[in-house]
Chain A
């Protein structure tokens, strides 16, 4: 990580616990760059996370107030923090299983309420920490610890879900899109109301190795080949989009 970001970090907690090839370290850096560029008062920021690999991005690494909560509940905790002290900038960073499975109800209600939170989903489409089980964002037919024959279920498009619930700003990028991702995080942090960013992050350790994608490069290629930009959606038929990852800002449909 670039040294000018060290002031935001408890470097004594390094190295991070992330596996080789994990995208969460990149996401950590991207979030801090966005905050640094916006010159936000880090002391007045609270980072709330649940349980899972993604939840370890802020806790214990970020050198400000962090709230590492129960599994699935960071959005509910964050709602209380923000409502009790609106002067705090409250950011939730957690994984897809945490935010969308066990915590799905809190996510949609926070979006509906338009609480002034920024929620960043570190989405690796798998339960990494507990051993590679199916998550609600695991693509169909993917092999996981609990779907050894391939996932028979459809995956959530969290951006579409949260947007439909009334979120003010919604975007998705992968950790390989660092520049647009920084821009999106900055926009989200400046949004008055509920903002949500889904960040696709590779997990070669738990996701890749069961799907013939054992290295970061394999995962990178796998993700890259499925990208479609939100602005180009009209060029595709619905069935062509089934396996795709839609990136960009989710705007209101005309």
Chain B
């Protein structure tokens, strides 16, 4: 249920690190249980939560590993709390089975992945955007999740709140796919007097795992409410009863888990467009790479070059329609990413007849405007 609440922080302008803003956004959204395990470059989130959660009557747990973190968080969610954990690449990999469990049991929870340079231990303090496909496909089995990509400290705050809202509304794990730069960036941002939050529907029901509609989200009573909940990660019917050999139940469940996201893309998919109307050169970017792209597009516009930026705030599910619209007049589409080309694969799939140029960077550094300009010049006489 949608509701307007007062911000926890006094409304004003702040100067804050992205990770701290993320933790504050979580608290404002109503997060009252956090479980985590230390890992660079996300640790400031858990450090801040360890201080702030007890102040607002919440629970902070430092668990024995990332697996325990996500599992205890799912348990806490069923006990009625809004829950979050934060990690980085290696920890995110450990959490994937738990994310799949949260998808299957439709457990609201927020996972922050502050991406760092990998694979494996890689460069722990250096930025990357290498987990884009892992966020989408990492958990086994066919499924949908929501992933949001913040590009500023403001969005580390705002999108954390949004992540909670989506998660509670659609009963789906929601990933805040940040990166080391926005996580450690310090900049000014604004806390408004009020924020819109969404609290899950806890109506007592006999069927907390199914709806009449094929894309519905059932209410979610919590433990102790008397709902006699049968929560299981095995295939189950609308009552929660395991049906591990029934093809109809499996099909109905998986279809609904996917359609409850797919059919609500209009609500979930957030994008921003800068000069995309009739853009001849379209940049498609997300997270910190979009900041550099924005600088480039502004510069090109000043030199009368018809460039535009389409920024993905929600990267999963992927908004295909907006891409097609923005790319209508585009001669070249550039996709700068701090990886060897991940989201660009999606764009190439959607625009098979257009010139899509990846701008990959995997040096453990952010993509700077100069990196983008260099590639752009090859395609602009």
Q: Are A76 and B72 in contact (CB under 8 A)?
A: yes
Instruction: Give B214-236 as 1s and 0s: 1 = Cβ < 8 Å from A's Cβ atoms.
Output: 00000000111011111111100
Which B residues touch A16, using CB under 8 A? Answer: none
A11 interface hit (Cβ, 8 Å): no
CB distance from B94 to the nearest CB of A (A): 12
Instruction: Give A140-171 as 1s and 0s: 1 = Cβ < 8 Å from B's Cβ atoms.
Output: 00000000000000000000000000000000
Chain B contact-residue range equals 35 or more
Instruction: Give A57-94 as 1s and 0s: 1 = Cβ < 8 Å from B's Cβ atoms.
Output: 00110011111111001001111111111011000000
Query: How far does the alpha carbon of A48 sit from the alpha carbon of B229 in the complex, in Å?
Result: 11
Query: How far does the alpha carbon of A69 sit from the alpha carbon of B100 in the complex, in Å?
Result: 11
Q: Are A65 and B223 in contact (CB under 8 A)?
A: yes
Query: How far does the alpha carbon of A6 sit from the alpha carbon of B228 in the complex, in Å?
Result: 15
Q: Are A105 and B79 in contact (CB under 8 A)?
A: no
CB distance from B203 to the nearest CB of A (A): 16
CB distance from B175 to the nearest CB of A (A): 18
Q: Are A68 and B224 in contact (CB under 8 A)?
A: no
Which B residues touch A80, using CB under 8 A? Answer: 33, 35, 61, 71-77, 79, 83
Chain A CB count within 10 A is highest, among B67, B71, B77, for B71
Chain A contact-residue range equals 20 to 34
Q: Are B101 and A79 in contact (CB under 8 A)?
A: no
Q: Are A65 and B61 in contact (CB under 8 A)?
A: no
A28 interface hit (Cβ, 8 Å): no
Q: Are B242 and A67 in contact (CB under 8 A)?
A: no
B319 interface hit (Cβ, 8 Å): no
CB distance from A46 to the nearest CB of B (A): 5
A109 interface hit (Cβ, 8 Å): yes
Which A residues touch B77, using CB under 8 A? Answer: 80, 84
B348 interface hit (Cβ, 8 Å): no
Query: Beyond A70-B98, A80-B61, is A85–B71 a contact (Cβ under 8 Å)?
Result: no
Q: Are A84 and B68 in contact (CB under 8 A)?
A: no
Q: Are A85 and B98 in contact (CB under 8 A)?
A: no
Q: Are B79 and A70 in contact (CB under 8 A)?
A: no
A43 interface hit (Cβ, 8 Å): yes
Query: Beyond A84-B59, A106-B64, is A65–B76 a contact (Cβ under 8 Å)?
Result: no
Query: How far does the alpha carbon of A253 sit from the alpha carbon of B311 in the complex, in Å?
Result: 65
Query: How far does the alpha carbon of A85 sit from the alpha carbon of B57 in the complex, in Å?
Result: 12
28 contacts between A and B (CB under 8 A): A44-B224, A46-B79, A60-B241, A60-B242, A65-B228, A65-B231, A66-B229, A68-B234, A70-B71, A76-B63, A76-B67, A76-B75, A77-B71, A77-B72, A79-B68, A79-B75, A80-B35, A80-B61, A81-B75, A81-B79, A81-B223, A83-B33, A84-B33, A84-B76, A84-B77, A85-B80, A87-B224, A88-B223
Binding site for B on A (CB under 8 A): 10, 13, 43-44, 46, 48, 59-60, 63-70, 73, 76-85, 87-88, 105-106, 109
Q: Beyond A79-B68, A88-B79, list 14 extra A-B contacts (CB 8 Å).
A: A43-B224, A43-B226, A65-B231, A66-B229, A69-B101, A70-B71, A73-B71, A76-B72, A79-B61, A82-B79, A84-B75, A85-B80, A105-B64, A105-B68
A-B pairs with lowest CB-CB distance, top 8:
A80-B75, A80-B72, A84-B76, A80-B76, A77-B75, A76-B71, A84-B79, A68-B232
